[in-house]
Amino acid sequence: MIDIKLIRTNPEVVRVNIRKKFQDEKLPLVDEVITLDEKMRVLKQESEFLRSERNRISTEIGVLMRHKKIDEANQCRKDVIVMNETISKNDVLEDELAAKIKNIMMRIPNIIDDTVPIGRDDSKNVELERFLEPKTPSFEIPYHLDILEKLSGIDLDNARKVAGNGFYYLMGNVARLHSAILTYARDFMINKGFIYCIPPFMIRSNVVTGVMSFAEMDAMMYKIEGEDLYLIGTSEHSMIGKFIDTILLKENLPYTYTSYSPCFRKEKGAHGIEERGIYRIHQFEKQEMIVVCEPEDSKDWFSKLYRYTVELFTSMEIPVRTLECCSGDLADLKVKSVDVEAWSPRQQKYFEVGSCSNLGDAQARRLNIRIRGVNSNYFAHTLNNTVVAPPRMLIAFFENHLNADGSVNIPSVLRPYMGGMSTIDIKE
């Protein structure tokens, strides 16, 4: 959510930003906010005047009573009653207008960074760098599900019976590798100075609307029936929510956390949920990183965060590239975003395995996360990034480490988490 002062003082900046994001249907929202805000400020001014007059007349009543001017005092009392009624009505109208303004403001996209490439959709995203040489093996790489099934590592049929499409059983050494990667990612981030955290896996609605847009909420979140609770789609949600209605001390900043959680997503409107495989699913696990920092530090942290993901993947000998998201591909709360994509030898292309986002003060403004300043408090900046999110990254892992005989090599950094194993072999 942007600062309403920007709409008051320079609405054209907001309109230009909306156009950059190719959301012209939202342009009328700016004028709606301006109109409602002017009405609310007129009401506030009237109420402030009436309160001042009420105080003056209340003092005057005492003077009139001392001078035995009973009729004049009674008339003043009637005037005060009328003023109180008007103030009460104005207060109700102000609350209604404030709610309408907030609702509209939460639909207006955040101001993107000047360096964000302009484009309508992800086809206009811009490649930044590549890391490690992409592999082109001499043998044909099977579909990832075929690899996992030959390793006796997955059971989709029984998962479908138990929970439907979009769920899975991971088995044996594949399940062990899944956990090993998460544990390695946890230790990797702890060694970077991040505090490890396991957060709540459910959050209240005021946190949901604080951390994401309405469109994202509708497409992603599972609601618990009969409760004001939602299953998290990523631990970023509850980790940022940890700071709701908090005034932070400068000397304690930045807060840097790496958090583990299962993630639950409806994937509403997404293609691929019915497809055979584990690329798009309703339930998965993820290691995340989040930062809450001073506004002037968020750009530096943004660069650090996505490079940590690159370092993690290359340490597991998986080629990756970084891709800057264009304006039309940015979610409404984001200032800037970079995706990390892993190489798929089977498809001979890269695919997304992580996303790093700088949200500026958008989440902090919605959740009222402020930093104590010398003269006044101000909003913090928040960032989040995927460390690793199996099982999707398992696709990249198995494709890049598959041998011609169907066995899979385990990189040296993961062997301590796999009991010293160097390969996962096919079970005859």
Side-chain-facing half-sphere of 271: CA atoms under 13 Å? 0
- Reference 3, options 114, 115, 116, 105; nearest CA is 105
pLDDT band at 270 (very low <50, low <70, confident <90, very high): low
- Reading phi first (left if > 0) and then psi (alpha if -120 to 50, else beta), residue 188 is in alpha
Average pLDDT over residues 330-357: 95
415/317 Cα distance (integer angstroms): 13
**In terms of residues, how long is the chain?**
428
**Residue 294 pLDDT greater than 70, yes or no:** yes
Report yes or no: 346 and 143 within 8 Å, Cβ to Cβ: yes
pLDDT band at 428 (very low <50, low <70, confident <90, very high): low
Report yes or no: 352 and 272 within 8 Å, Cβ to Cβ: no
- The range of the structural domain enclosing residue 233 comes to 122-424
pLDDT band at 212 (very low <50, low <70, confident <90, very high): confident
110/334 Cα distance (integer angstroms): 6
pLDDT at position 275 is: 60
**Are 74 and 147 found together in one domain?**
no
pLDDT at position 129 is: 97
pLDDT in tens, 52-104: 999 899 888 888 888 888 888 889 899 999 999 999 999 999 999 999 999 99
pLDDT at position 389 is: 93
Of the residues 105, 130, 161, the one at which a domain ends: 105
Angstrom distances, CA of residue 269 to CA of 149, 266, 275: 28, 9, 14
As a whole-number percent, the residues of the chain with pLDDT over 70 amount to 98
252 lies in some domain: yes
Is 394 exposed, middle or buried (CB count within 10 Å of its CB: 0-12, 13-18, 19+)? buried
Angstrom distances, CA of residue 14 to CA of 63, 72, 108, 195: 53, 53, 8, 37
Average pLDDT, the chain: 93
110/387 Cα distance (integer angstroms): 25
362 lies in some domain: yes
63 lies in some domain: yes
Token digits of residue 94: 């102000």
**Are 236 and 331 found together in one domain?**
yes
**Residue 272 pLDDT greater than 60, yes or no:** no
- Phi and psi for 342 in degrees, rounded to 5? -100, 155
100 lies in some domain: yes
Average pLDDT over residues 297-304: 97
Average pLDDT over residues 360-386: 96
pLDDT at position 269 is: 53
219-252: b or e for each residue (b if 16 or more CB lie within 10 Å)? bbbbeeeeeebbbbbbbbbbbbbbbbeeebeeee
pLDDT at position 292 is: 98
Token digits of residue 348: 């001979």
**Are 234 and 338 found together in one domain?**
yes
**Are 179 and 94 found together in one domain?**
no
pLDDT at position 72 is: 87
Average pLDDT over residues 352-369: 96
Q: What is the count of structural domains for the chain?
A: 2
pLDDT in tens, 140-198: 999 999 999 999 999 999 999 999 988 999 999 999 999 999 999 999 999 999 999 99
Instruction: Please state whether beta strands 349-358 and 336-344 pair in parallel, antiparallel, or not at all (unpaired).
Output: antiparallel
**Are 223 and 351 found together in one domain?**
yes
Side-chain-facing half-sphere of 362: CA atoms under 13 Å? 25
**Are 276 and 216 found together in one domain?**
yes
- Reference 193, options 334, 86, 301; nearest CA is 301
**Are 352 and 274 found together in one domain?**
yes
pLDDT at position 215 is: 75
**Residue 271 pLDDT greater than 80, yes or no:** no
**Are 60 and 14 found together in one domain?**
yes
**Residue 27 pLDDT greater than 90, yes or no:** yes
- If residue 379 lies in a helix (H) or strand (E), which one and from where to where? strand 378-379
Report yes or no: 277 and 145 within 8 Å, Cβ to Cβ: yes
pLDDT band at 211 (very low <50, low <70, confident <90, very high): very high
